[in-house]
Amino acid sequence: MPQSRGLTLLLEHRARKDKLQIRLASRMYWPLYLIIGGLATLWFVWRYKHRRMIEIAQKLPGPPSIPLIGNGHQFICKPEELIIVIKKMIEDYGDVVTFWLGPNLNFILSKPNDIKILLSSSKTSVKGPQYKYMADVLGGGILSGSGPQWRKHRKIAAPNYGKRAIESYNNVFNKEVDLLLDKLRAMPEKPFDIYTLIVRCTSYSVCQTLMGVTKEQTSKLPHIEEIIDKTPQHYDIVFDRMTKWYLQIDPVFWMSKIYQQQKHFLKLISEFSLEILKHRINRLKTLEDHNKKILLDPDQDSVINTELSVIDRFILSKEFTHNDLISETFTIFTSSQEASAKISSFILLMMAYHPKCQEKLYAEIKRVIGDEDRAVSNDDLKQMPYLEMILKEVLRLFPIGVMLQRTIHEDINISTCTLPSGCSFVVPIFHLHRDSRFWDRPNSFDPERFTPENIKKRNPNCYLPFSLGPMDCLGRYFGTKLVKTICVRILREFAVSSPGTYDDMRVIMAISVASINGYPVCLHPRKLK
């Protein structure tokens, strides 16, 4: 009996202990249960609220998605592989592909006429949610914003990107190319990355034209060399956040190494932009002190205000907060200098890879410019149709914007379906430009695609190097003039070669297309008469 009673007491003790542990566990885990319950509730509420969008998406082709993540896991890959991932989506599912980035429904569209409808519509005048990560660096302005504020800022800046303004930049462009040529003449005849020198030429050109600062002021801008060198790296960070779902979770991003890099870069941007603003504010005060008339309506372009820089117009408009001025100042700088340098470098690299094209272009340059080392004028460039064809082919293969995303805020019909309000559409410009339905040998370099006769044979909307519609590229004419001036002056004096071949070339998609191995060329001085 005593043993039986002892056993009973032991069992009761264990039972009480187990109950106590269960109660403690339930108290310990109730916050977790609450979080899970809250997430589940939000999930069901969200699905109910967006049931129509979900219903439409389920009827259209696209890869299977994972709850909460969507298809975000498919984009966790090396930058070089992203080209293949998107290409396979289009090949597997057709001209309209649905995919989810977390709770955001996206449609990849590959029909040129559908793309024209969407990019030209007032129902799609808002940039997609992934632009948030660009806005974290550049603010919600000209490059990364949309809506009324974006339109107002663009309108203020537009006169400095007009054809008359760009003609006035000719002297600065040529002087900076003179300095670039001096550096190139000192280079030994062995391969080097020509982008590293060209980007400094474009940066100083942008500062003295669009920004309005002098050559001396530009050379003393804080951190300018570090900013020039690190800008491509920070565009890569932005693109990683756009495409990798886990980096879109702010606490995860804040704990990452690249967050510290971005934070440091933002500090550089702020100090760089503030110095430019200080110079321009002082200049405007000087003009007022000398009673020089300044048109206080910077939206208009006239003889009175053509000397105003973009930054001056921003300041005089009084439409910008302090933070707006800082972010838009850097936006004007980076959107012009980096893109122009990349395009110029790609042109020279393509000439190095394709000697027959290079000699044909050189013959055109020599016919127009002759053997004299002189400034290139607007009239000169108008007489170079083959240069224009080469530029267009480079922009086809290596577009500055690889993808566009727009949010649809009202249902819109395209050829095969209705895209619902609340979703976004993606234009895969890189893949559109290499679609075999529109381009023979789409991955080959062939400027002859852009003869007038060949252009007429294609749907015009399969080529979108500067986007389309009211949100097209503001700096297209500025960049074109600067790029052509650089390339004509270099190729008039040097033949270019490269240690690699076009077939060996590897590119990645980030914000724009970039060459993984840089832009290695070797310069050979021409024997000029």
pLDDT digits (tens, 9 = 90+) for 41-85: 776 777 777 788 888 888 899 999 887 788 999 998 888 899 999
CB 482 within 8 A of CB 161: no
Mean pLDDT of 245-265: 94
Token digits for 44? Answer: 């069901």
Helix axes 385-397, 476-493, angle to 10 degrees: 110
What CA–CA distance (Å, rounded) separates 275 from 304?
Answer: 26
Confidence at residue 304, expressed as pLDDT on a 0 to 100 scale: 41
Residues making up the binding site: 473
Bridge partners (DSSP) of residue 515 are: 507
Confidence at residue 528, expressed as pLDDT on a 0 to 100 scale: 66
Bridge partners (DSSP) of residue 100 are: 105
Confidence at residue 90, expressed as pLDDT on a 0 to 100 scale: 96
CB 274 within 8 A of CB 325: no
What DSSP designation does 196 have?
A: H
What CA–CA distance (Å, rounded) separates 34 from 107?
Answer: 35
* Rg of the Cα atoms in the chain: 28
% of the chain surpassing 90 pLDDT: 71
Do β-strands 104-109 and 424-427 pair in parallel, antiparallel, or remain unpaired?
parallel
- pLDDT averaged over the chain? 89
Dihedral pair phi/psi, residue 517, rounded to 5°: -95, 15
For 132, residues 6+ apart whose C-beta sits below 8 A from its C-beta are: none
Of the pLDDT bands very low, low, confident and very high (cuts 50, 70, 90), residue 144 is: confident
In 45-114 the beta strands, taken as DSSP E runs, fall at 96-101, 104-109
Of the pLDDT bands very low, low, confident and very high (cuts 50, 70, 90), residue 458 is: very high
Of the pLDDT bands very low, low, confident and very high (cuts 50, 70, 90), residue 372 is: confident
Do β-strands 192-193 and 507-509 pair in parallel, antiparallel, or remain unpaired?
unpaired
Token digits for 142? Answer: 């000209």
The answer, yes or no, to whether residue 2 has pLDDT greater than 60, is: no
What CA–CA distance (Å, rounded) separates 487 from 329?
Answer: 27
What DSSP designation does 427 have?
A: E
Confidence at residue 7, expressed as pLDDT on a 0 to 100 scale: 56
The answer, yes or no, to whether residue 13 has pLDDT greater than 70, is: no
Residues making up the binding site for heme: 473
Q: What is the pLDDT of residues 155-196, one digit of tens each?
A: 999 999 998 999 999 999 999 999 999 999 999 999 999 999
Confidence at residue 40, expressed as pLDDT on a 0 to 100 scale: 72
For 48, residues 6+ apart whose C-beta sits below 8 A from its C-beta are: none
